[in-house]
Each structure stands twice: as C-alpha cells, then as structure tokens.
Amino acid sequence: MRKDQESLLEFMKDILKNGTEDEQQILYLARQAIEYMQERKTAYLSGFLGLQGEYLEDGTYRFEVPITPFMLNQMKAVHGGITATLADSVMGSVASRSTGYKVVTTEMNVHYLTPGTGDRLIATASVLRRGKTLCVCECKIHNEQGRLVLAGTGTFYLVEPR
C-alpha cells in the first residue's frame, strides 16, 4: 500500500473511532457517493446528497433528501449552493424524463425564501414549456414542515435522445 493510502486509511480509522457524529456521517456519505457512481453512473454529488427521485403521475418530478452535516453552512442551515444544486437536479430530471432527451442547464434563477432547516428537503419540479431545443421548468423546495425554502426556474438545452 502506498504511503498516501496508508495515511488515508489511518485517518479514516481515527475518525470512525474518535470522530464526532458529523465527521463519521461525512465518511458514510463519501462511501455512499462512490457506491452511487459505481451502481448508477451518476455524479458523485448525487451520492453525497442521496438523490433518489420519482416521476409522479401529474408530470412532476420529486426528490426527497435528508439534511446532513455535509449540506450545512456555519449557521446550521442548508448552504444556498446545495439548495440550488437540488433545484437544478430536480428540474433537469423532469426536463429529461418528460422530453426523452439528455439535458444541460443553460440558465437558472432561484429565490431563497427561508433557511433550509429541519430533517428533510422535498424538491418538486414541473415543465412550464417545451420547445424544439429548450425546455423551461419550475421548482419549489420545502422542508418537511411545509416551509417554502426555494422557488426557481431553469432552462435546459435538449442535447440528444436518451
């Protein structure tokens, strides 16, 4: 084993034995991210967030994710970049699912309305309009108490059929 691998292994053992609960959870999330990538061929970030979505009968897409220490800022609320990433992911998923195309984000607008606190975030998205090359979506993110954390829109370019 190389020296840097040995150092990493010792670090991880120390965190598992002596680390805080938050530090231990970060290691678990790193494992989850790697497993997501191996199994689902998705982005590591999706694994860190624990993204698992469902396409609903009304044409919306929904993600429900636990709020973890990885997501929190210094004020113990979900970091705005994480909330925006969740919005981008759920809108991209509904754009791809509803159009049958792989998509990339071309524009996104978010409004942070209340801090992301609680145990879970629930993100829902729907298509506002689909054109020949672009798909415009909207998103809302609530916590488990129903407080609206974020509202946003996004435009997605239709790259190629899935």
Please name each of the domains of the chain with its CATH number. 1-50 (no CATH), 52-161 (3.10.129.10)
pLDDT of residue 1: 64
Helix axes 3-18, 21-40, angle to 10 degrees: 130
pTM for the whole structure:
0.85
Along the 162 residues of the chain, how does pLDDT read in single tens digits?
A: 687 888 888 998 998 999 999 889 888 888 888 887 888 777 777 877 878 888 888 999 999 999 998 899 999 999 999 999 999 999 999 999 999 999 999 999 999 999 999 999 999 999 999 999 999 999 999 999 999 999 999 999 999 998
The span from the CA of 143 to the CA of 122, in Å, is 6
Neighbours of 116 (CB within 10 A): 25
Element (H, E) at 148: strand 148-161
